[in-house]
Amino acid sequence: MKHIVEIDNWVRRDNYLYFKNFANSWIAITSEVECTDAFHRAKESNSSFFLYYLYAVTRAVNEIKELRYRTDKDGNVVWHDTVDVISPIAVPGRTFYTVRIPYKEDFASFYREARHIITHIPHDGDPYATDKGIAETGDYDVFLLSATPKLYFTGVTYTQMATGHSMDYPLMNAGKAIARGEKLYMPIALTVSHAFVDGEHVSLFFEKVQAFLNEVHL
């Protein structure tokens, strides 16, 4: 469910009004999470490490209200009770297909549904059908996470719509986990609208991702 924000009574009113007309009000930060135990737990149980960290990221987003603020198609500032994750998944013989995976707080339930969705991708569909469907509804109750498991990076710059376009959900990328000594570290790039999100919320996001990675298992 979405809720319309009353701007005049909103604690972020001044922040929002200051940044809303910037040509680019987005901030981008890349940091790392330590993923050693999560990586090995996934491998030992023959599970998907991708879905382990996808869950950790999705739960972190859903536990931080500022990451659930959006501008809807009518220009209203809204916040959503929960948001789903969309992710481009590689399709053999093609490029990729973007899927939408519903948020579930219970990891086992999230994992089962995500696994089903990813393993039932149509081979002849429009790779942007999910994105287009979200744009048609105009609620943007999602965030994006792309995975580049073969590439370690220290920063990412995203493509963006025209100035003033309301597609302002958070954009993320998770990269290759690399070893430093006995530990594995994975970069995560986060791009968000500064009208909705401050550095405090970005820091909290990485803290929560780390905490959920430390505990998640099947």
Residue range 50-64: average pLDDT?
98
Residue range 116-129: average pLDDT?
89
pLDDT > 90: what percent of the chain? Answer: 79
**Token pair 């939408």 in the structure block, residue:** 100
Q: How many residues does the chain have?
A: 218
Q: Strand (E) positions, the chain?
A: 2-4, 26-34, 69-71, 77-80, 84-90, 96-101, 142-148, 171-175, 178-180, 183-193
The structure tokens listed for 16 are 């929002």
Question: Per the structure, how many domains does the chain have?
Answer: 1
Q: Is the per-residue pLDDT at 80 higher than 80? A: yes
Structural domain harbouring 172: 2-215
Give the domain CATH number at 76: 3.30.559.10
Find the angle CA(7)-CA(85)-CA(165) to the nearest 5 degrees. Answer: 45
The band of 20, judged by pLDDT with boundaries at 50, 70 and 90, is confident
From CA 204, how far away is CA 186, in angstroms rounded? Answer: 17
pLDDT in tens, 97-115: 999 999 999 999 999 999 9
